[in-house]
A and B are shown apart, each in its own frame.
Chain A
Amino acid sequence: MASGITEKALKLVQSLPRLSLSNIKNLPHSIKKTKRRRRDRQHGKTHGRGHKGQGQRATLPRLGFEGNNTPFYLQIPKEPYYKDHELRKEYVPVSLLQIQRFVDLGRLNVKEPIDLSSLCNTRLIQVKWEQKQFGVDLLDEGADIFCARLNIEVQKASELTIAAIEKNGGVITTRYYDPHSLHAVVNPAKFFAKGVPIPRCKLPPQNEIAYYSDAKNRGYLADPEKILHARVELAQKYGYALFEYENEEEKEMLLTRKDPRQIFLGLAPGWVVNLKDKVILKPKDPEFVNYYKS
């Protein structure tokens, strides 16, 4: 080695004196000075408080007070950046073009109902509840080339998107997941590995319940009869004929829907999935059964 650092270090260790209490030091700030009483000549008499006035007499006004004129912290106007931040929701944008591409490349199985779990299982879409994302917003980019017949469940969808899906004979429902249920839905494998009972999905909050009760949005809380009317109306508006289903199996698949409290298709809330033994445990206690059924 050119610099010979190792040799220099070894020589240093050889030449330095023996380690003893006189030549070692504590790490900085590892030992704090104890607070001592103010009794000596330097800290006595006024004890750090000066002479007379509010300072010595402990009657000072609150911090920021400027003698009754409007203080600095009230003079400057406030920009309410975080007002209603707890009510703001984000939805991950997914276009019809993307869905068509997933179907073409075999990432999504059209023969089974597609919900948020299947979309997230492709690992091409990520929904993060920590970032106040509440699901997926199906956009209408690619409505002109869309030709897949599928049963899809998203969180938000525009009128054109609904028309594009129903024109090809598909079924779309919009549905709400509360953050705790969303955590389970987005990564079912990770959730089942926990061994926790499947949560019961909560109803949407006040400002979202109107959206999901509207048949025009194909909301999961809307009246099914009104949805049928809305389908006919939309077909008339966009000028296509309503699809006639020939295959019974396909029709059954397209019409499967989840219960408003159910987050996984085929699995009820309250059940515990044991992945290792490949067994599902169901509650028997009437209190639990009634809670999860409601």
Chain B
Amino acid sequence: MKYVERLMPQLTVPEVPKHSSYPTPSGWVPPREEALSLPYQVRRTKNHMLPVYHEQTHQNRHCVHIRKVEGDIWALEAALKEHLQQLYPEKQLASQVHEVARSIRIKGHYIHDVADFLISKGF
């Protein structure tokens, strides 16, 4: 019967086990407490991942979608645009802030830069 119990799924997402060093082999970094004191916060998803997604429509329209933004969403948008402009000075950056859905969309293939920026902030 223990084999049957082993086949039963876990009904809730388990807590992340403690690792000796971060980032973990797969590149996962835990969120830091200090990040909550910033004017804006980006919460992790229920699977402990960053809520940053790459959206693509048609063959060459790429967007970065950042969800679960709390606090001053416009300040985060300004910070992100400043950071990306420094990395890519020649590029024009278009962005959308959705205050009700608490999300930001940035046009371009910048998902890794955005993720690195958010992790450096501690989210």
Which residues of A are in contact with B by a Cβ distance under 8 Å?
97, 100-101, 103-107, 112, 117, 121-124, 142, 145-148, 188-189, 192, 264-267, 273, 275, 278-280
Contact = CB atoms under 8 A, between A and B. Distances in A.
B89 interface: no
Interface in B45-99: 47-48
Contacts of B9: 121-123, 189
A147 B25 contact: yes
A282 to B, nearest CB: 12
A264 B6 CA distance: 10
A201 to B, nearest CB: 15
Nearest to A191: B7
B6 to A, nearest CB: 7
14 contacts: A101-B24, A103-B26, A104-B19, A105-B47, A106-B16, A107-B14, A121-B7, A189-B8, A192-B4, A192-B7, A264-B3, A273-B4, A275-B4, A280-B4
A165 to B, nearest CB: 14
A266 B3 contact: yes
Query: Which of A97, A104, A106, A264 has the largest number of chain B CB atoms within 10 A?
Result: A104
Name the residue among A101, A189, A280 with the largest chain B CB count within 10 angstroms: A101
Interface of B: 1-4, 6-10, 13-17, 19, 24-28, 47-48
Nearest to B15: A106
A279 B7 CA distance: 15
Most chain A Cβ neighbours within 10 Å, of B9, B15, B27 = B9
A145 B14 contact: no
B1 A142 contact: no
Contacts of A192: 4, 7
A105 B28 contact: yes
Contacts of B24: 100-101, 104
State the 5 A-B residue pairs at the shortest beta-carbon distance, nearest first.
Answer: A266-B3, A121-B9, A101-B26, A104-B24, A188-B7
B31 to A, nearest CB: 13
Given A105-B16, A106-B14, A267-B3, 8 more contacts: A101-B24, A104-B24, A105-B14, A121-B7, A147-B25, A189-B7, A279-B1, A280-B1
A288 to B, nearest CB: 20
A188 to B, nearest CB: 4
Nearest to B8: A189
Contacts of A146: 25
B26 A142 contact: yes
Nearest to A146: B25
A145 B8 contact: no
Contacts of B47: 105, 124
B7 A145 contact: no
A145 B27 contact: yes
Most buried by A among B3, B4, B9, B10: B4
B41 to A, nearest CB: 21
A278 B4 CA distance: 9
Contacts of A189: 7-9
A247 B52 CA distance: 41
A148 to B, nearest CB: 8
A117 B8 CA distance: 9
A97 B26 contact: yes
Nearest to B3: A266
Given A121-B10, A123-B9, A189-B9, A104 B25 contact: yes
Nearest to B23: A104
A106 B4 contact: no
A117 B7 contact: yes
* Residue among B6, B24, B27, B28 having the largest count of chain A Cβ atoms under 10 Å: B6
Contacts of A104: 16, 19, 24-26, 28
Contact of B1 (A97, A117, A188, A278): A278
